């Protein structure tokens, strides 16, 4: 959040999964409620609320979801319960997972991205869910171009259709353990992918002290 503030962003948007793996779910919800002008609900949020079946999750994710469900405050539940997994009202359409399935679908291939673009009214959409910083661009062709978005990369979004993923803040999965976020300039129509160090050891130790699966702490060091 300090890095976002230093960049001079006018608004902060969150693509969901505010809770799910970490040991401070209520603090995360409070921060999102205070700082995010647009915020989505993700599949982990929905499982923590009891609105999705936890059986869809891996063992570690299920343990964390149940632990979170038992600890959410009434205020946190109320905020998350008022969110949707998609928001197409702004200049950029937001989806937790994908335009076709905003809760569950992973967009990791060009073929899936193209099918999603076909169903999306907006020219530019932002997606989360995979924890991987990615971009997909289609300008006249049937199959979009695609690529990983590394720290410092900037893309011109002014032409064609785009699906962009900022990557994960608390648990990135692209081999770079730093928190990932994306700066959008809607006057110039550019996207700049950013990475910033955060106290991983503090987050990992909190997970361990809470009795959550050790793998959830260990993966933070490797960006997996």
Q: What is the mean pLDDT of each run of 10 residues along the chain (224 residues)?
A: 95 97 97 98 97 93 97 98 97 97 98 97 97 96 93 97 96 96 98 97 97 97 95
Supply the pLDDT for residue 220.
Answer: 97
* Angle value at C-alpha 36, between 185 and 4, nearest 5 degrees: 50
Supply the pLDDT for residue 40.
Answer: 98
The token duo for 178 is 């730093």
Strands 161-165 and 124-127, sheet pairing? parallel
3-state SS class at 122: coil
Delineate the domains of the chain, giving CATH numbers in brackets: 2-221 (3.60.21.10)
Measured over the CA atoms of residue 139, residue 152, residue 33 and residue 80, the dihedral's sign is: positive
CB 171 within 8 A of CB 132: no
Of 145, 148, 180, give the one whose Cα is nearest residue 166: 180
Length of the chain: 224
Provide the terminal-to-terminal Cα distance of the chain, rounded to the nearest Å. 22
- Distance between CA 64 and CA 192 in Å, rounded? 32
């Amino acid at each position: 959040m300090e890095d976002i503030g230093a960049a001079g962003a006018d608004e902060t948007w969150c693509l969901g999964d505010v809770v799910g793996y970490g040991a401070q779910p209520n603090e995360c919800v409070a921060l999102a409620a205070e700082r995010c002008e647009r915020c989505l609900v993700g599949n982990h949020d929905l499982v923590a609320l009891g609105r999705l079946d936890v059986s869809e999750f891996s063992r570690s994710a299920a343990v964390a979801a149940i632990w979170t469900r038992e600890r959410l405050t009434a205020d946190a539940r109320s905020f998350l319960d008022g969110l949707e997994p998609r928001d197409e009202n702004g200049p950029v359409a937001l989806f937790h997972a994908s335009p076709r399935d905003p809760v569950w679908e992973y967009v990791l291939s060009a073929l899936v991205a193209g099918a999603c673009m076909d169903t999306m009214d907006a020219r530019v959409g932002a997606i989360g869910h995979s924890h991987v910083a990615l971009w997909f661009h289609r300008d006249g062709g049937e199959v979009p171009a695609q690529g990983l978005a590394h720290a410092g990369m900037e893309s011109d979004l002014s032409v064609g259709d785009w699906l962009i993923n900022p990557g994960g803040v608390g648990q990135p999965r692209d081999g770079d353990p730093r928190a990932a976020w994306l700066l959008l300039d809607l006057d110039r129509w550019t996207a700049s992918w950013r990475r910033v160090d955060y106290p991983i050891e503090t987050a990992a130790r909190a997970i361990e002290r809470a009795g959550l699966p050790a793998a959830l702490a260990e993966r933070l060091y490797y960006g997996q």
